[in-house]
Amino acid sequence: MSSQALIDKILATAKDEAEQITNEFMRRAAENEKLMLDRAADECRAIEAASNQQCEQIKRIAELTSGLESRKARLHCRRGLIDEAFGKAYKKVLSLQGSERASFLKSLIVKYAPAKEFAVRTSPADADVVTALLPDLQAALGDGAAITVQADEAVKAGVYMSSEYSDVDCTIDAIFDELRDRYEAKADAIMSGDGV
């Protein structure tokens, strides 16, 4: 074989091998490209799913917070109405005069007297009223009723009664605290539409 034929054969073989190497390289590059694109798409879907999940969680938190804020606002309004109602009633009791005030004090003492013998502490302004009521009180409480009256600056209105065995707090503050505890839940239910 001539040297030219040998060179041509080597060149043809080299060209075939180069073509095969190039084709293999291109095939592998295409596989790697597809693999990389698939991985990128998977990562993209995972990021999108995580983002959607976070958005849903943020949305749920916002809805819960909004609902909580709404309930807090309604509760605040209800509390304001209850405070206003009790405040007006409190002022009205404090402003009772004359026979209305005497009747109020008499009913407290007769209804809640702790014993036949007891001391009544009341505001300085009411001490004279209760003293004037003593004959009516003793008649209402029956034989053996012995009542002493003391003026007390700490009492705004109402009475605080003490006997040997027990004390009864019928001051306006104690009465309104008890009434508020008793009727607040009922008033709240009525205002929210849950009660009649």
Six-digit token pair at 131? Answer: 């003293």
pTM of the model: 0.56
Q: What pLDDT was estimated at residue 188?
A: 64
Over residues 50-74, the pLDDT tens digits come to 888 887 887 887 777 766 777 777 7
The confidence score (pLDDT) of residue 196 equals 47
Asked if 176 and 184 touch (Cβ cutoff 8 Å), the reply is no
Residue 45 contacts by C-beta under 8 Å, 6 or more apart in sequence? none
The first and second tokens of residue 38, run together, are 């698939």
Beta-carbon contacts of residue 172 (< 8 Å; ≥ 6 apart): 90, 93, 94, 156, 157, 158
The token pair that represents 71 in the structure block: 């309930």
Residues of the chain predicted below pLDDT 70: 1, 66-67, 187-196
Cβ neighbours for 95, distance < 8 A, ≥ 6 positions apart = none
